[in-house]
Structure 1
């Protein structure tokens, strides 16, 4: 499926790439339907179009990964996504209409993020019901930007002397955050979500199988995580978070997770 910016309206010519891509998907869906299988795919948000999604779901589509990446248009431009927040929300609406709750890619912490960026991202996730399950929240509330060799971000940050290249591989790199508050909050969220992941490596399968006790634990941890993220935003915005109480906050959070998961 081709991006929306390659499409025209109903009178688009037959050789338009978007029209041709849509036709290919519909033909593929018809072939897959004959196989009586279930399957998953990855797609850009501006590939999500009602007719093709309906056909794919009818053919057995059950899982999809889409890269939302941000809830702020300015950030999507920085990431060169060629998509918008409106595209993100439209894709979610269409997929949910056909019974698909997507897995999502999301970059909460960019190298140039501000606390305002984080607040807008958080509001986007909340209003689009993307903080309801621990398996999603624990990823989208921390995920940082992975900078891949060959990307525009890699070159730009390297030219600026901001790229931290691994001694083991040049393919992936990272960079320091420009905003000190964002850097501190990112570090806190990394430590908090890593503590949750340590439990999930042993309990994820139980959650997948709908074990009642595990589902209850995950729900409590999710509520704690979402509440804590919102609280941190308020504390960093007001200037109340200090280096001293940073460690206290993380330790207290992790102890609360221990109590829930024990």
Structure 2
């Protein structure tokens, strides 16, 4: 086996239960797209999903040692305090298999490439941004034994040089950053992603993901997805026909009837984006394909004509980028939406029987107590605090600032305490009352979630899913406690601000 693609273990301590912000959903198909691209070029590839198999780092290394390969591609996800453990595991593998080439790809290594390569010289290279093209060139170079100097010619690659020489240019040891790669202009030309361990994922309740587009036309200050694709990034959508063909293939081969679109923004920009969505919906309806699906989108893209068509085709879930109930915060985030836009989107989706899931930032570095009060009143007015797990998330959520975002460039002043890598920005709230309130709410929500998890039956605990039954008396009481505690704590800081 010449090439192994690795999804590593993702341990997560309870205090990081907001870590959904770490890896955008679109990353879930990154390995699958690389694998299918390699297979289309007749390269041997094996996907090892240590996360799916719930292996420890030690077990992961034991399993990799059993395989024969030249290139190890690692979809590296930021693990906060466990990040160092993953690098220690890779170092131990490199010592045992010194001739393998280790490449990292994904959002985290893209933005932290320089630091990661300098701090971990045993890592040979990092694929920057959209991975298929650069990784394919790397794989062909490694498999064909072209030598280290060949890395200089691969756009979209950063690597640890070792006196490389190409085209008469000698590069001393150190980190080399090649020219950026160009994003794929026509996504229809990519082979459908390779789907490993399909049955095992279904047993665990993991959705079947489709990536119908890449990028986003939004420029939100807290999001790095647009920058991931490069300075000239733009939203790119697959054709409705191409998307439909992939859905049909999965439907026919696996009998799958539920899909979740992993797009950061399912709708493309403007009227054309909405028309494209309607065209896909019409294909599903015309071909009488009996499926259901979920999407993620901005509030300004929610309009009746499009939602009506999608619901008719099987739309059941929507993750909505609300972000805030404070207009000041929305403006600061550069959402270019209004609180009224947020309300209208929620009302419209509910008219079609869809209760959205929400992207929402209760606390950010510049929040004031007034902003927090507006957020809280918005959540109550819109009846969004219905179930305790969702309520806890909405009430506590503190903005995480990663490299690649506008906010990181504005706030960054040194590596965070969990990692020496310049990737996550640690910050202090400007308003001392907000800091005290955030600490209080975070602690209370963590305890509430622990109590809630203990109360769930064994069947639900084993599923990697956001959907739980929360209609029992314990859950209803827990939900009320969360809301009441937030109200009491917020009122206390409104009445008695903290200044020191």
TM-score normalised by structure 2 residue count: 0.42
| Helix, strand or coil at the partner of 1:35 | coil
String of CA shifts for 1:224-260, please: whole Å, max 9, x gaps: 11011111111111118899xxxxxxxxxxxxxxxxx
Structure number with the bigger relative contact order (C-alpha 8 A, sep ≥ 6) is 1
Alpha-carbon separation, structure 1, partners of 2:355 and 2:484: 23
Pick aligned residue for 1:133 from 373, 387, 392: 387
Are positions 1:150 and 2:404 aligned together?
yes
Which residue matches 2:439? 187
SS at structure 2 position matched to 1:39:
strand
**Displacement of 1:210 after TM fit?**
4.1
Aligned equivalents of 1:117, 1:174: Cα separation in 2? 21
**For the residues of structure 2 that align with 1:191 and 1:131, how far apart are their CA atoms?**
18
Change (3 A) 1:29 1:80: same
Query: In the TM superposition, what is the alpha-carbon distance from 1:172 to its structure 2 partner?
Result: 3.0
Structure 1, gaps ≥5 residues long: 5-15, 244-262
Q: Which has a greater percent of helix?
A: 1
Normalised by the length of structure 1, the TM-score is 0.79
1:170 aligned residue = 422
Instruction: State whether residues 326 and 374 of structure 2, in contact with CA within 8 Å, keep that contact through their aligned partners in structure 1.
Output: yes
Counterpart for residue 217 of structure 1? 474
Computing the radius of gyration from Cα coordinates, the structure with the larger value is: 2
Match of 1:75 in 2: 329
Counterpart of 2:495 in structure 1 is: 238
Q: 2:451 aligns with which of 192, 199, 203?
A: 199
Between 1:201-210 and 1:133-142, the stretch displaced more is 201-210
8 Å contact from structure 2 (residues 415, 424) kept in 1: no
Q: How far off is 1:177 after superposition?
A: 0.7
**Please, which runs of 5 or more residues in structure 2 have no aligned partner?**
1-212, 219-267
Report the Cα distance in structure 1 between the residues aligned to 2:477 and 2:279, rounded to whole angstroms. 45
Alignment match, 2:200:
none
Q: How much has 1:110 moved relative to structure 2? A: 0.8
* C-alpha distance after superposition, 1:23-56 (max 9, x if no partner): 1010111123332111111111111111111111
| Paired residues for 1:1-262 under 5 Å | 18-33=270-285, 34-158=288-412, 161=413, 164=416, 166-167=418-419, 169-202=421-454, 203=456, 205=460, 210=469, 215-239=472-496
Partner deviation per Cα, 1:33-89 (whole Å, 9 max, x = no partner): 332111111111111111111111111111110111110111001111111101100
Q: Which range moves more in the overlay, 117-126 or 27-36?
A: 27-36
**Shift in Å at residue 148 of structure 1?**
2.1
Which structure has the highest strand share of the two? Answer: 2
Equivalenced residue count is 228
In 2, Cα distance between equivalents of 1:122 and 1:97: 23
